Amino acid sequence: MARHGIANRAFPLVGPRLEQSWMIVNATTFRAEILLPDLAAATALAARIAPLLIRGDAVALWGELGAGKTTLARETLRALGVSEDVPSPTFTLVQTYETPRLAVAHYDWYRLKAARELDELGFGEALENGAVLVEWPQRAPEYLPDDTLHLRLSSEGEGRRVKITGPERWAVIA
């Protein structure tokens, strides 16, 4: 399996040495918070993410039921040129797409019974061959690469708030 790691999750129950390495990891990490007042704003955010996605990238979509995870994944796939239907992978757990520039696997881990099911679902191969978009990443966070882009969605009036964390190269999407 490619690039597993726990460096970003190693705090706060750590001694000084690990704490120091956590600080180094986070020195190259950016944080931002943006509002998506409507679906058009979600489409616009997805359109900023899509062209930056490369092979080996993971985007973790956090948030409660109905937070807008599938919407962001779908709009990202649309921005990558997918014109076919983009269903929620709630029951299939994964839907794969060959977009003109990049293979993308869209996962929904909500119904995952055990993290190791991801081996059968080809998660490692999906990361090796393309990018992955993951709803309900809390079911198996240890499978996410260290350089995952995290989008944490919550309700904000009729729209959504997104807390973004990830490597510095993603700062341009905020």
Ligand X SMILES: Nc1ncnc2c1ncn2[C@@H]1O[C@H](COP(=O)(O)OP(=O)(O)OP(=O)(O)O)[C@@H](O)[C@H]1O
Q: Indicate which single residue of 8, 36, 102, 165 sits in contact with ligand X (rule: CB under 6 A).
A: 36
**CA of 58: how far to CAs of 7, 40, 49, 108, in Å?**
16, 23, 11, 13
- Residue 75 partner contact from Mg ion, ligand X, none using kind-dependent CB cut-offs of 5 to 8 Å: none
* CA 140/CA 57 separation, integer angstroms: 17
- Least distance between ligand X and beta carbon 36 (Å): 4
Query: How far apart, in whole angstroms, are the C-alpha atoms of residue 66 and residue 97?
Result: 23
Question: Is residue 63 involved in binding ligand X (CB under 6 A)?
Answer: yes
Number of residues near Mg ion (by CB under 5 A): 4
Member of 29, 43, 88, 92 binding Mg ion (CB under 5 A): 88
Contact in structure between 86 and 77 (CB atoms under 8 Å): yes
* Listed ranges 49-57, 78-86, 126-134, 157-165: which one lies at the site for ligand X (CB under 6 A): 157-165
